[in-house]
Structure 1
């Protein structure tokens, strides 16, 4: 019963927070207004800037920020006990994550949809902009290089998820064209898309050609998946946002949110009547928390501080979210007042997802998993089998598997078929990863274009010259995206340290830099907070609610990187050194120190002094709603 009380209590807390703290920030601090022309309206180009219903943007935003982060992070962090993981998710999502995402979205909308990296050059100084963009470029390169491997591992582990995930692409294109061209309401397309996607899960691995199709693709080398997914990401990045990226994320969100609702219902049933009967017995195992509340001295595990705050990023706070808020979502919201629903609300929903992951791993697993010898393990034995040591809980398949098995046990408590329950959770994980991949590619395109524009010659009017600079091709969306995709594939193609150059190892190169991603990702959160704080400081707005999170999110990643580099047994102490990883870590620490020093010097002079205004837009009639933004 304690498991159910935690789930219901967290859900109720998030609802209260949204309608109190979220409303306070929206109305009293950011002063959102529905009579202000949003960037999507003022700059509507029917490609990147597209005024869109807030529910569609919510779907895009939620699935893009979630990814596998709120699944993988909590699924490994419960090795230190369920209480620290849950507390960090609760306090992190409310006091840091939701404020970070909401603030990034609002600041971007107030700056014509520019990314936080671009905005930093005006609210701090141009040097900060360049340094910030370099860190963004590094983080997104790691995401693009690793997420093809992530999806490939999920597909190999859960082949029944392949067909349902691939079907989403043509379905999304059809829904996107239908909504955009016909201008109809969301209800009918939403119901049709949801029904078709659930049917694809039910019938997506039946014996016959579909099962053969799934097994054939599951056997593909990782390199094939990485190449295919990066090619797909290129297409999704350069197409108009309404044609693929936006509708795919929207219909994904419908399936994912309803799947989470099913998990909650299953949790309720399991709390009152127990889990699915074991074998031929009528006995239903009781739902209890099988994990210890606190656990110290885990074999091979790093220290809880600071690594708890690096391990759980998405679900508490993640720097990647500032890229989604300021990179894509700010270009699609039709109204300023929709920002609370999308920015603040999505993060709270992600916190609830992370809570369900924690409960699935510490209680759901106890309802029964198969042991190494084929026996059924229950309760503490099930938890111990997955979390005996850091090595046992490590590896993507183990982390994802703990959630999938635990959550599937909740679904099986409803009487759902085990095959369907596992396939649905596999689709959930793979879909989250895929939406992060295609959004990350589009964001990397923006970052490459912004970096290239720094070096491309300008004409007399300050506009980018059309020729005469060898980097000009990177300012074009096709050139920037091709560069991003090729670089990501090159990084992915390098075999990880200690592995031979074989076809089976090609595609795993993202693992070389993956140990850096957690700290780099969290550092982005601190830097985004820094931009938000400066933007508010210049307008004499209260900064109390971002000051402590800013310091916290700058200190924790630096602490983690320093620990990994310089402590006994750290990267510099290893006999076979991973020099690319060491170089990137040292360079990132140096960039952070430089940026913080620049910010400290700038802070006293910035109070009440507005940054340089953007150039006025040429007057033209709005293309939406007769000139009204809402």
Structure 2
């Protein structure tokens, strides 16, 4: 099938979904009202609670939830065929992921912008607060510790991206100062900031930077330390100083990159065709785990991801200015992420086949090119392999538009590293919120201080990152748990949304309950299969921690089932704010 048709059909489908199902959820299920009180106004403090234009908060929310997820996931998931992956990032995104994100955002907004852990305590019971805290803390700990390594890998593989990524920081600070302090026109300031950002991309392509070993510490270790220091600073500053403007200009980077990729697909297809050379379905690729249930935990962002509930109940609900904006920010962001996942599938399923250079310098095209990269699970599933497939496919298609290969590679390197960076600093800030809320519940006021809570978040991540040596890759030992833990978190967030809607009466809760049950089944199935593998391989670290997460999730599911029955017994008209 030609990639152009896939792109057009999916793109139209997302737009229709936003205007129909998204509007139904906003107006009929969650009943979003423009006059309703929102945390950004009721609790405005100029640091975390700041009412924000919906275009700006959309940019922050989208870049925070996206990260490298919709890039890496589809780049691995295509090994089972492009059709199952495509169905998951369209149907799953529309009816599960976007419902999850919108629901988590609305529930948090109607509870003072509190985290999903706190709202779980309200709608289930106080005991689950600590269950949720354990799962959320571990998830964020892994994200913070690993994403430093991810960015370091990108910097090492694409040294032309280093200058542009770091120079985005002063550009973002100046943008925030111009808009919030000097009242500059947002469109004009945006145009100047984006132009400056692309000037730094050009500069980076001319002046690549490679970190050298420092006092015996490998480059990845040095980058991890620098990035954690940056995350501490970014997460303690007011959101309008750095976090929000940086995410906003990164969103524009995404819009431009997606436009270039879409134009590349269209031009290549119309000038000679761009067939999907990856098989439509392959149920038994060499060395790969079974497609059921592992497709659903391999491709998370772009379909449904528990990390999104942390953003939707962390930074975003404290900035959304009116309730109706939640549809655009929550539901709309998820659909755009699905569209990005579709473009990535085209890059790795079709673009890579235009020309592929092997390690020995051989040039391959067509199915031979695709198969060389995806010959087995072991060759296709590593971080470097994922990034290579995406960058090669994207650069090939942009090359048809006249973009030089070196510039195309620099653009993709900056794109990937920038998104990983936004996830890193957002995750650190959310971890600070979670630690602060728990400290408040336990009556430890000094630990709820934003500097202390952020220090705890960063120090624990650093301890995990350097647990196995100076390369900063210690968290990779636990990374195999992330896929199942992340999707488990999505299941539990959907549980909270289900209980919230159940208290509203009627059958509204079904829009969240059905995705919740599906995710609980496939995630627990995957966790059981993973546990068997860990035990067989005598990987006791993963086996013990994985079993602990599974036990906590089972406990919380039972507590939620009891709460669900109690809500029904109390009467269908029982209300919740």
- Fold shared, TM-score > 0.5 on shorter chain: yes
1:440 aligns with 2:427: yes
Q: Write out the 4+ residue segments of structure 1 that deviate beyond 4 Å after TM superposition.
A: 217-220, 609-613
1:215 aligns with 2:210: yes
Q: Over aligned residue pairs, what C-alpha RMSD do you find?
A: 1.5
Offset of residue 335 of structure 1 = 0.9
Mapping for residues 446-457 of structure 1, pairs under 5 Å: 446-456=433-443
CA distance in 1, matches of 2:467, 2:55: 41
Q: 1:526 aligns with which of 476, 491, 497?
A: 491
CA distance in 1, matches of 2:381, 2:498: 37
Matched with 2:179 is 179
1:377 aligns with 2:368: no
Matched with 1:538 is 503
CA distance in 2, matches of 1:305, 1:454: 40
1:484 aligns with 2:457: yes
Offset of residue 202 of structure 1 = 1.8
Matched length: 570
Matched with 1:627 is none
Q: What are structure 2's unaligned runs of at least 5 residues? A: none
CA distance in 2, matches of 1:580, 1:472: 34
CA distance in 2, matches of 1:165, 1:139: 25
Is the CA contact (8 Å cut-off) linking 1:156 and 1:218 kept in structure 2? no
CA distance in 1, matches of 2:358, 2:192: 40
CA distance in 1, matches of 2:397, 2:484: 33
Offset of residue 217 of structure 1 = 6.2
CA distances 1:431-489 after superposition (whole Å, capped 9, x unpaired)? 11110000000000111112222322xxxxxxxxxxxxxx4432111111101111101
Matched with 2:557 is 596
Partner secondary structure for residue 298 of structure 1: coil
Is the CA contact (8 Å cut-off) linking 2:94 and 2:335 kept in structure 1? yes
Is the CA contact (8 Å cut-off) linking 1:263 and 1:410 kept in structure 2? yes
Offset of residue 490 of structure 1 = 0.6
Offset of residue 611 of structure 1 = 7.1
Matched with 1:586 is 547
TM-score, normalised relative to structure 1: 0.89
Offset of residue 134 of structure 1 = 1.3
1:260 aligns with 2:258: yes
TM-score, normalised relative to structure 2: 0.97
Offset of residue 60 of structure 1 = 0.3
CA distance in 2, matches of 1:15, 1:405: 29
Is the CA contact (8 Å cut-off) linking 2:503 and 2:575 kept in structure 1? yes
Matched with 1:331 is 318
Partner secondary structure for residue 524 of structure 1: helix
1:303 aligns with 2:290: yes
Matched with 1:621 is none
1:40 aligns with 2:40: yes
Is the CA contact (8 Å cut-off) linking 1:159 and 1:218 kept in structure 2? no
CA distance in 2, matches of 1:115, 1:403: 34
Offset of residue 610 of structure 1 = 4.7
CA distances 1:404-440 after superposition (whole Å, capped 9, x unpaired)? 1101111001011110011101111111111000000
Is the CA contact (8 Å cut-off) linking 1:122 and 1:611 kept in structure 2? no
CA distance in 1, matches of 2:274, 2:81: 17
CA distances 1:548-597 after superposition (whole Å, capped 9, x unpaired)? 1011111222111110112xxx11111xx333322210110100111111
